[in-house]
Structure 1
Amino acid sequence: MATILVVDDEMGIRALLSEILTDEGHSIELAENAVQARSARERMRPDLVLLDIWMPDVDGITLLKEWGATGLLNMPVIMMSGHGTIDTAVEATKYGAIAFLEKPITLAKLLRAVEQGLARAPARAPGAAPATPAAPVGGPIRGVLAEPALTVEAAMTGGMGLPVMQVDLGPQAEQSFDLDRPLREARDAFEKSYFEFHLARENGSMTRVAEKTGLERTHLYRKLKQLGVDLSRNKRSSGV
């Protein structure tokens, strides 16, 4: 497990990267500006920093230069930007960044960059926990793909005349759904049980559930929150 500092002024980006990297087993610290980033870097001595370029007070390139000039650039830094150019990427690497990620960042590129960055991180002091690089997994962070193939409409085929639908989701997971209600409510109830089943079967691994259900990780997180699925319960049960 590695300690990663995520610096970005967009709350949504911070939250998303934090969820993904936490799920990969890393410890995450968040900062929304250069002031918080300086404090966090001094306090936690991160193994890796994900640093946004465009921030309202001090931009990421300036902060990168500052760390380099003061001898504080002793950890790998990956720059991020939604408005970057080749010149920006060249400038970032010139001042010490090891990689440049253009937003929207794909999941595969994020995990690959983190893995490569941690491989270049200085060795920890004796007794400290070693960093464990995350395994790259395909799939973009942004966008929305199709819903899971197994939807409530498909499950109800041939059973529209019944007041209650029995759905076998595997051992000890049979569910009953009241069909005498609006379609949206019935679909939500079914999909909640569907995702809870897969989370339990995959021991709470969001990566494997995303692969199994055919959803992008970003959409999967949003979907689970929308349905009210208790992610903490699944993580506790899997020992994560």
Structure 2
Amino acid sequence: MTTKQILVVDDEIGIRELLAEILFDEGYQVHLAESAEQARVYRNAREPDLVLLDIWMPVTDGVELLKEWAEQELLTMPVVMMSGHGTIETAVEATRIGAVDFLEKPISLQKLLSTVARAINIEVAHLVEAPKETQKNLTVEIAGVEKQYALPLDMPLRQARDYFDAIYFQYHLQKEDENISRMAEKIGVERTHLYRKLKQLGIKLTKRAVPDSH
């Protein structure tokens, strides 16, 4: 099995060295960058399997670097943001741009390892058609309009779960007219988790969703 490559981007040497030591002991190959500029050089040369990216850095912060990679179509690997002073607005913005998770400093060992393991194996789930001979239809009414969805009962469990999740979130997204705050409250999840799930499922908002100011 190929060793997974992780790029750690943080301007604090103590954080870089600590994360590198922990991740190396877990069998990962770790590369370090103390600034956005060093991270750019690394990313232009190769694609890591995961990036741990600090938000608050001098000159260019982590969110700006994330935007830059997204605009240049270089955001092809999972990125986990890190911060000791993160806000929900910052987390939502980073998730909207393309980050897959958020770690709050000080980072516990268990949280670090579980987040890295989950993020490094993330696959964007796309809707797929179930084989016609095994399809069962689900009829859902949204705003007075009936829509039919195929239920893939003979798919492997993980694939079927992703398919159902996409239908579920698309249903509530349309029902709440893409109001993320209202939808999050209705289905009982945090907004940051909701943005992350929509991103994971490849569901794009047709309207620009703006987080509440309060």
TM interval, shorter chain, is: 0.5 to 0.7
Report the counterpart of residue 45 of structure 2 in structure 1: 43
Report the counterpart of residue 9 of structure 2 in structure 1: 7
Q: Distance in 1 between matches of 2:21 and 2:103?
A: 18
Report the counterpart of residue 20 of structure 2 in structure 1: 18
**Residue 55 of structure 1 aligns to a residue in which SS?**
coil
Q: Distance in 1 between matches of 2:91 and 2:110?
A: 19
TM-score, normalised relative to structure 2: 0.56
Report the counterpart of residue 109 of structure 2 in structure 1: 107
Offset at residue 81 of structure 1 (A): 0.3
Identify the match of residue 70 of structure 2 among 63, 68, 71.
68
Matches within 5 A, 1:141-156: none
Offset at residue 68 of structure 1 (A): 0.4
Identify the match of residue 93 of structure 1 among 87, 92, 95.
95
Q: Distance in 2 between matches of 1:94 and 1:108?
A: 26
1:77/1:96 contact within 8 Å kept: yes
Q: Distance in 2 between matches of 1:76 and 1:106?
A: 20
Q: Distance in 2 between matches of 1:121 and 1:18?
A: 24
Offset at residue 42 of structure 1 (A): 1.9
Q: Which stretches in structure 2 are left out of the alignment for 5+ residues?
A: 125-214
Offset at residue 45 of structure 1 (A): 1.3
Paired letter, 1:2 = K
Matches within 5 A, 1:1-240: 1-120=3-122
**Residue 111 of structure 1 aligns to a residue in which SS?**
helix
Offset at residue 44 of structure 1 (A): 3.0
Q: Percent identity?
A: 62
**Residue 37 of structure 2 aligns to a residue in which SS?**
helix
Q: Distance in 1 between matches of 2:77 and 2:112?
A: 17
TM-score, normalised relative to structure 1: 0.50
1:4/1:48 contact within 8 Å kept: yes
More strand by share: 2
1:4/1:47 contact within 8 Å kept: yes
Offset at residue 121 of structure 1 (A): 5.9
Offset at residue 87 of structure 1 (A): 1.0
Q: Which has the larger radius of gyration?
A: 1
Report the counterpart of residue 203 of structure 1 in structure 2: none
**Residue 64 of structure 1 aligns to a residue in which SS?**
helix
Paired letter, 1:93 = T
1:5/1:31 contact within 8 Å kept: yes
Paired letter, 2:69 = W
